[in-house]
Structure 1
Amino acid sequence: MPARPTLLATAGALVALAVACVLSLLVGARTVPLDAAWQAALAFDPGSADHVVLASRLQRTLAGLAVGVALALAGAGLQGMTRNPLADPGILGLNSGAAAAVATGVYLFSFSSVTQFMAAGFVGAALAAVLVYALAAASRTGATPITLAIAGAAVTAGLGSLVHALVILDQGALDRMRLWQVGTLGARDLGDLAAVAPALLIGAVIVLGAARALNALALGDDAAAGLGVHVGRTRVVLGVGIVLLVGAAVSLAGPVGFLGLVVPHAVRLLVGSDHRRLLPLTALLGPVVLLLADVVGRVIAPPAEVQVGVMTALLGVPVFLVLIRTRKRVAL
């Protein structure tokens, strides 16, 4: 794609990200006018109502930025690594694996800190990825996009049942995970963000740095090997980066689904399939979609709040169904 459309798309994504951040800070059950927000920031009066609201929303906005980048990049990396347009951390069971590991840790060991959640999330996401691939590969047609999606749905359903069973058995676990298990940005503070930042950064660097390798993998394993790509090693390294991103995101916000499916497909419509352009723009637009979904969830049923995991599912399920129908038509 020529440089000019790519630059325009990047500039538009940056503007959209700035707008989403401003809306995330100002809009909610209590709307803070822009001039009042500016005055509260300049005055820095911790006792004022506007300052309290803005401080809480700042933490929420930063969490949305981190989780949006992580899940969108993880989805784009999964789609490129598996050559599967239906790949997404939620659809392929990674989110559910991380959530099940966290729930097990809460039930058996009383996990409560974000670092404990993150460690459990890494293990659970990795084991779920291996299980889904093994189930898909054992099918008659092998690990095709459709069999991977079916295996992911089966693993997600099974692990979801495990999570529900564990939280029902333990009232304390239910109290700690009630909001987290449906996906929320409002449950963490700046200390939690700092704790997961190294894993997020390392995972993002791994996936962004694999752009050329992902372009080669898109041509097929044999062609990629002919271009000098170590296919097996590249997939292992990419898998590590994706697990780091998913584990950190789930530890912060819970199992937020479909973001990694919707955003990369939207970006492909803007800049094509070259991962050198696709991945950076995906990292910019992931937080935009997540923050806007969070803002809509705050205002559609005041004073109650619809959690962001529910909002992304409402957005992602129709897209997923359209993609499946498209794949079936191509197969026919």
Structure 2
Amino acid sequence: MAGKKPAARARYAAGLTAGLVLLALAVAGGLAVGAQPVPPAEVLAALFDPDAPHASLVREVRVPRTLLAVTAGAALGLAGAVMQGMSRNPLADPGILGVNTGAACAVVAATVLLGTRSLQAVVWWALLGAAVAVVVVYLLGGRGAGRGTPEGLVLAGVAVTAVLGAVVSGLGVLDADAYGTLRIWSVGTLAGRELPVLWEVLPFLLVGAVLALAVAPALDAFALGDEAGRALGVAPGRVRLLGTLATVLLSGAATAAIGPVGFIGLVAPHVARLLTGPDHRRLMPYAVLTGAGLLLVADIVGRVIARPAEIQVGIVTAFVGAPVLIWLIGRTRRNRRSASTSASRKAVATA
């Protein structure tokens, strides 16, 4: 047994190292690939020499875009891991449960109705919208016959997303000029984003990440249920509060930066869980790397698939994530039926 732990730690460290190498390759691709390809040697020269060929393209367009993709993807992956652990729901995701759409709706409403233009105000409105959406979805998902089930929360999230999406479209009718500036952003895009956007949201993302990592050990005990968690010294109310705050900060700030991008928070934790198991302290670093890599690769695919035009990253992630969601719903139902059948057989055998 003693020999297994160092071996497991070595495998875990090797996996993280491999993830970092793959992310570095994706970053290199993000700097080189686009409507105008730039050879790797010229990318390297442009990073260090402002007068080099393609320096303006690489330094002013692709570096900010790539950094935002990595940061926002990492935030969404981490937010998804927290939501899935906190709700004990394998289908939880900031996009599916309406959190991203809530943030986007608040930003559009503030822009159209209040004339908000400053980036700082946009971030605060996004956080407020994300918080309200979280509360509404969990209130709706806790009612009725589907109370507390993964499908019930997903249905509540879909309903809230649909309503908020209609509100966003309606606001566009009120002020077409203001909405025109937000039309592409509301789909989820990294095009045209600049470094000041990253610096504005980075403090919120860092605080959210610290909170998420702080609740990671408690989420493992929390997964056993409220009563078992209390027996292990975990306060469920405190875990829910800190976990919700982390989710709001991570997903709200990411949405303020690049718009509502779905499915990264759903897919990244599941990929990480396949590699690490259910331990959240080991899972979360992998979810960060996976989320960052997925969003960056999706952005690269969007740049080249319709060249010289490009497809917004939110559309690319939807094409990838929707089949994953359908598969997860089917697997969740099969697991529940299997558990129910097993419990019935045990009851009959005992009787």
Mapped partners of 1:108, 1:38: distance in 2: 45
* Structure 2 match to 1:136: 141
Instruction: Select which of 21, 27, 33 maps to 1:21.
Output: 27
Q: 1:173 aligns with which of 173, 178, 182?
A: 178
Task: Give the aligned partner of residue 235 of structure 1.
Answer: 240
Residues in 2 aligned to 1:187 and 1:77: alpha-carbon distance in whole angstroms:
30
Q: CA deviation at 1:112?
A: 2.0
Which residue of 2 is the match for residue 69 of structure 1?
A: 74
Match of 2:291 among 277, 286, 290: 286
Is the contact made by 1:100 and 1:159 (CA closer than 8 Å) also made in structure 2? Answer: yes
Is residue 222–residue 229 contact of structure 2 (8 Å, CA) maintained in 1?
yes
Question: So what's the TM-score if we normalise by structure 1?
Answer: 0.97
Deviations 1:80-118 (CA, angstroms, capped at 9, x unpaired): 000000000011110111111111101111122221121
Q: 1:22-59 CA deviation, whole Å, 9 max, x = no partner?
A: 000000000000111222233321xx550111011000
Amino acid of the structure 2 residue aligned with 1:323: L
Cα displacement string for residues 161-192 of structure 1 (whole angstroms, at most 9, x for unaligned residues): 11111123211222210110010112321112
1:189 to 170, 194, 216: 194
Do the aligned residues in 1 keep the contact of 2:42 with 2:53 (CA within 8 Å)? no
Residue 53 of structure 1 pairs with residue 57 of structure 2: yes
Contact 2:112 2:178 in 1 (8 A): yes
TM-score, normalised via structure 2 length: 0.92
Percent of paired sites with the same residue: 47
Of 2, 5, 8, the residue aligned with 2:11 is 5
- Across the aligned residues of Structure 1 and Structure 2, the Cα RMSD in angstroms comes to 1.2
Contact 1:5 1:271 in 2 (8 A): no
Partner residue of 1:146?
151
| Larger of the two Rg values belongs to structure | 2
- 4+ long deviations beyond 6 Å: none
CA distance in 2, matches of 1:148, 1:174: 30
Q: For residue 174 of structure 2, what is the amino acid of its counterpart?
A: L
- For 1:40, the equivalent position in structure 2 comes to 46
Alignment partner for residue 167 of structure 2, among 162, 165, 177?
Answer: 162
Residue 85 of structure 1 aligns with an amino acid whose one-letter code is P
User: What amino acid does structure 2 have at the position aligned with 1:52?
Assistant: S
C-alpha displacement of 1:246: 1.0
Q: What is the 5 A alignment of 1:320-331? A: 320-331=325-336
> Residue 88 of structure 1: SS of its match in structure 2?
coil
* Structure 2 equivalent of residue 308 of structure 1: 313
Q: Which of 94, 102, 122 pairs up with 1:89? A: 94
Q: Which runs of 5+ in 2 are unaligned?
A: 338-351
User: Could you tell me how far apart the structure 1 residues matched to 2:330 and 2:152 are?
Assistant: 14
Q: Give the distance between the partners of 2:150 and 2:119, measured in 1 at CA.
A: 33
Quick one: distance in 2 between partners of 1:141 and 1:93? 18
Match of 1:276 in 2: 281
The residue that corresponds to 1:121 in the other structure is 126
